[in-house]
Structure 1
Amino acid sequence: MSSGTVRNVIDEHVPALEATTSVAEAIEAIRTASTGTETTVYYAYVLDEDDHLEGVVSMRELLNASGDTALADVMIESVVTVEEHESVGDVARTIAANEFAVLPVVDDEGQFSGVVRAEDVIEALDDEATKDVLKDSVHDVDYDPSEAGQYECFECGNVVVTANADTCPDCGGELRNLRTTLE
């Protein structure tokens, strides 16, 4: 598994607002803060006075809510988070299991530190960790093993057309049927 931690790939420049902020004020704050950035904003994070994460609100919720509604009334309070000290590989599994593009990060005291994006986690994974995460994400599909099919090697990436292959003829690595989806 990768020895890097989430702290190495955290984005600290994300919308963090108070629960009493109105939806209209939140949208304007996000618009102002994100001008000129290449990063897409999916969520705004609601913090208390001690910078602890109270909730999250999606841009969709903000755009569908009345402008005078407080964030406390539209935010989701049950939030999946990761901690700064967690390994990039463990966070990749959390992202995959929850199918999130972005996860909030908290420090040891539970204070909001920023977010980690799936694309940054994938980029930070070393080769071995990437293979482990991909192997954990593979789900079997029904297929006839006597039928010739395409298989991809986890080690070298070679694509082999054969019937019921287990190992790569080039490097001996494990193969997966290309009809098997990666989720």
Structure 2
Amino acid sequence: MSMQNARSLVDDSAITFDAATTVEAAIDEIRTSTGDDEPTVYYGYVLDDSGRLEGVVSVRELLNAEEAASLADVMQSDVVSVEESASIGDIARKLAEHGFPLLPVHDADAAFLGVVRAEDVLEALEEGASKAALQSSVKDVQYDPSEEGQYECFECGAVVAAIGSPGSCPECGSELRHRRTTIE
């Protein structure tokens, strides 16, 4: 599994507001702050004065709310989020459990850092699974350097039989490697 965590995948371009922002202002902010090449905006995050996550409001909720209402009136204050140290597997389970396309990420002090997107989590899981499969299929071969072995030249490909490292290639003078040593 990948050694990544929520912090390594966080996208800090999430749209944030304070609770006093009106629905109309929030919609205008979303409309003017996103371009065609940016990820789809699903949620706006409401932060307190300390930058802590106070609530979340979906674009759908904004579109169905009264324009003059404040975000404090329409936001959901019970926010599903992950701490920055959460593993990719934990994030994936939480995304699947709740069916969200992304999750907000906070630090140990509950300060909002950004969001982690489901597609980035899936990519990290695939990368981790690929790496684990490769590592399980490649095995190091043990050898005793005090026994006679075959050494191969990196440059010309010459093979030399010797006990212990023969040093450099007798053909071209380049570096040799024991043939049973894995190439990384």
The normalised TM-score by structure 1 is 0.68
CA distance in 1, matches of 2:130, 2:85: 17
* Correspondence for 1:101: 101
CA shift for structure 1 position 90: 1.4
Structure 1 residue matching 2:103: 3-state secondary structure:
strand
Q: Is the 8 A contact 1:6 1:88 kept in 2?
A: yes
CA distance in 2, matches of 1:38, 1:45: 17
CA shift for structure 1 position 130: 11
CA distance in 1, matches of 2:36, 2:101: 21
Q: Is the 8 A contact 1:2 1:129 kept in 2?
A: no
Q: Deviations over 1:37-57 (max 9, x none)?
A: 331000000000000000000
CA shift for structure 1 position 34: 0.8
- Please tell me the root mean square deviation across aligned C-alpha atoms, in Å: 1.8
Structure 2 residue matching 1:45: 3-state secondary structure:
strand
CA distance in 2, matches of 1:31, 1:64: 16
CA shift for structure 1 position 97: 1.4
CA radius of gyration, larger in: 2
Q: Deviations over 1:62-97 (max 9, x none)?
A: 001111100000000000100111111211111111
CA shift for structure 1 position 2: 2.1
CA distance in 2, matches of 1:97, 1:129: 24
Q: Is the 8 A contact 1:51 1:111 kept in 2?
A: yes
* Correspondence for 1:40: 40
* Correspondence for 2:54: 54
* Correspondence for 2:27: 27
Question: Structure 1, unaligned stretches of length 5 or more?
Answer: 132-183
CA distance in 1, matches of 2:65, 2:17: 16
CA distance in 2, matches of 1:58, 1:130: 36
Q: What pairs with 1:13-162 in structure 2 (closer than 5 Å)? A: 13-125=13-125, 126-128=127-129
CA distance in 2, matches of 1:38, 1:52: 24
